[in-house]
Amino acid sequence: KQFLFESNEITFGSMYKNDITLIKDPKIPEYAFKINTESSTPFVVNDAYFSYLEVDNINVETSQKLNSGSIITVGDTVLKFFTKE
């Protein structure tokens, strides 16, 4: 699936209140993480300290910069992040 965002903050998790709901992966909690695009550099933010979150094979404890083409692994789910450019 492909998702296009117009918001500066996108939330991910298994609960329907998130912008992106990932219910097929039992390792994903109700709220897992968010992507923040307010600055010119997008970041994955792990403010819930979810232990199954990586960006480009690096464990994300608090936040991690995203590049176009970055691979986000959350639980057993793999996402690929792209910018408009």
Round to whole Å and give the CA distance between 64 and 23.
Answer: 24
Question: Please, which pLDDT band fits residue 84 given cuts at 50, 70 and 90?
Answer: confident
Determine the pLDDT at residue 42. Answer: 93
pLDDT of residue 77: 94
- Beta strand 53-55 with 20-21 is unpaired
pLDDT of residue 2: 82
The pLDDT of residue 18 = 95
Band (11; pLDDT cuts 50, 70, 90): very high
